[in-house]
Structure 1
Amino acid sequence: MDIGAPVPSRRLGPYALTDKGIAALLTRYEFHDSVVRRVIIDQHFGRKPRGRAVRLVIDARVVDEAMRWEPVCLDLVDVKRFRIDEIQGPAGVLFDPPRFTRFDGLMQIDLCAERFGSLRPSNRQEVFEGSEWVFEAVEGTWSVLEPWSV
Structure 2
Amino acid sequence: MTAEGIAALLARYEFHDAGIRRVIVDQDFGREPRGRVVRLVIDARVVGEALRWEPVCLDLVDVKRFRIDESSGAPAGVLYDPPQFTRFDGLMQVDLCAERFGGLPPRSRQEVFEDSEWVFEAAGGTWSVLEPWHA
TM-score when normalising by structure 1 = 0.86
SS at match of 2:23: strand
**Counterparts of residues 1-150 of structure 1 (less than 5 Å):** 17-86=1-70, 87-147=72-132
Change (3 A) 1:148 1:129: farther
Cα distance in 2, alignment partners of residues 112 and 149 from structure 1: 33
**Residue deviations 1:100-130 (CA, integer Å, cap 9, x gap):** 0000000000000000012110000000010
Share of identical aligned residues, percent? 79
SS at match of 2:8: helix
Change (3 A) 1:148 1:98: farther
Cα distance in 1, alignment partners of residues 37 and 133 from structure 2: 22
SS at match of 2:81: coil
SS at match of 1:91: coil
Cα distance in 1, alignment partners of residues 111 and 52 from structure 2: 34
Structure 1 residue ranges, 4+ long, deviating more than 4 angstroms after superposition:
none
User: Number of matched residues?
Assistant: 134
CA drift of 1:133 comes to 0.3
Structure 2 alignment gaps of length 5 or more: none
Moved more, 65-74 or 120-129: 65-74
**Amino acid paired to 1:135:** F
Cα distance in 2, alignment partners of residues 148 and 96 from structure 1: 28
**Residue deviations 1:33-63 (CA, integer Å, cap 9, x gap):** 0000000000111111111000000000000
SS at match of 1:136: strand
Cα distance in 1, alignment partners of residues 54 and 133 from structure 2: 9
Moved more, 94-103 or 140-149: 140-149
Cα distance in 1, alignment partners of residues 118 and 65 from structure 2: 11
Structure with bigger RCO (C-alpha 8 Å, 6+ apart):
1
TM-score when normalising by structure 2 = 0.95
Structure 1 alignment gaps of length 5 or more: 1-16
